[in-house]
Amino acid sequence: MMGLEMDYKRQLGGQYSISHDLKVSIREEASKNEQEDQLMQRMSKKSSYAKEDEYHKRRLDREITGNGPQDGKRPLEVNDSDSQVVVKRSRWDVQSYQIPEKTRQMNRDLEGTLMEFPGSNNVRFLKPSDQKHFALALQDKPIEDLTKEEQKERTLVSLLLRIKNGNTASRKRAMKGLQEKCNDFGPQLIFDRLLPILIDQTLEDQERHLMIKVIGRVLYMLGSSVGPYTHQILMVISPLLIDEDPIARETGREIITTLAHAAGLVGMLATMRPDIDSEDEYVRNTTSRAMAVVAKALGVPNLIPFLNAVSHSKKSWRARHTGLKIILQIGLLLKRDILPHLQGLMECVKDGLTDEHTPIRTIAANTIATLAQMSYPYGIESFNIVLEPLWRGMRTHRGKVLASFLRALGNLIPLMDAEYAGYYTEEIMRVVNREFDSPDDEMKKAVLMVLQKCCKTEGVTPKYLRQEVAPNFFKYFWVRRTALDRQLNKLVTYTTTILSEKVGAPFIIENLLTPLRDEAEPFRTMAVHAVSKVVALLGIADLDERLEIRLIDALLIAFQEQTNHDSGIFRGFGIVATALDKRMKPFLSPIISIILNHLKHKSPLVREHAADLCAILIPVIKNCGELEMLNKLSIILYESLGEVYPEVLGSILSAMSSAVMCSNLSKLQPPINQIVPTLTPILRNRHRKVEINIIELIGRIASLAPEYVAPKEWMRICFELLELLKSPNKATRRVANETFGSIARAIGPQDVLVALLNNLKVQERQLRVCSAIAIGIVAKSCGPYTALPAMMNEYKTPETNVQNGILKALAFMFEYIGDMSQDYIYLVAPLVEDALTDRDLVHRQTAANVIKHLALNCSGSGCEDAFIHFLNLLIPNIFETSPHVISRILEGLEALSFATGPSVASNYVWAGLFHPAKHVRVAFWRLYNSIYVQHADSLVPNYPAIGHEASSIPELDIVL
pLDDT at 637 (0 to 100): 92
Give the integer Cα–Cα distance in Å for 54 and 346. 35
The Cβ of residue 128 has, within 10 Å, a number of other Cβ atoms equal to 11
pLDDT at 158 (0 to 100): 85
Query: Who contacts 778 (Cβ-Cβ below 8 Å, separation ≥6)?
Result: 740, 741, 744, 749, 752, 753, 756, 786, 787
Give the integer Cα–Cα distance in Å for 825 and 850. 11
Give the integer Cα–Cα distance in Å for 65 and 530. 57
pLDDT at 391 (0 to 100): 84
pLDDT at 65 (0 to 100): 46
pLDDT at 438 (0 to 100): 85
The Cβ of residue 112 has, within 10 Å, a number of other Cβ atoms equal to 11
Using 50 as the pLDDT threshold, list the residues of the chain that sit under it: 1-16, 34, 65-97, 110, 112-119, 960
Query: Who contacts 353 (Cβ-Cβ below 8 Å, separation ≥6)?
Result: 361, 364, 365, 368, 386, 389, 390, 393
DSSP string, 617-655: HHHHHHHTT-HHHHHHHHHHHHHGGG-SSHHHHHHHHHH
How buried is residue 14: exposed, middle or buried, by Cβ count under 10 Å (0-12/13-18/19+)?
Answer: exposed
Give, in order, the Cα–Cα distances in Å from 371 to each of 40, 92, 328, 601, 881: 48, 66, 7, 55, 57
pLDDT at 112 (0 to 100): 46
pLDDT at 819 (0 to 100): 86
Give the integer Cα–Cα distance in Å for 473 and 457. 18
Task: Give me the torsion for CA of 593, 598, 601, 605, rounded to 10°.
Answer: 180
pLDDT digits (tens, 9 = 90+) for 540-585: 888 888 999 999 999 999 998 888 888 888 899 999 999 988 899 9
Ranges of each domain in the chain: 671-817, 833-959
Residue 779 · residue 813 · CB < 8 Å: yes
- Angle at which helix 441-455 crosses helix 418-434, to 10 degrees, equals 150
Query: Who contacts 9 (Cβ-Cβ below 8 Å, separation ≥6)?
Result: none
Residue type (1 letter), 705: A
The Cβ of residue 203 has, within 10 Å, a number of other Cβ atoms equal to 21
Give the residue among 687, 808, 697 at the shortest CA–CA distance from 756. Answer: 808
Query: Who contacts 54 (Cβ-Cβ below 8 Å, separation ≥6)?
Result: none
Residue 893 · residue 875 · CB < 8 Å: yes
Give, in order, the Cα–Cα distances in Å from 809 to each of 735, 742, 833, 888: 19, 18, 16, 16
How buried is residue 371: exposed, middle or buried, by Cβ count under 10 Å (0-12/13-18/19+)?
Answer: buried
CA-angle at 206, arms to 201 and 212, nearest 5°: 80
Three-state DSSP class for 95?
coil
**CATH fold group of domain 671-817:** Leucine-rich Repeat Variant (1.25.10)
Give the integer Cα–Cα distance in Å for 535 and 549. 15
pLDDT at 30 (0 to 100): 61
Residue 258 · residue 215 · CB < 8 Å: no
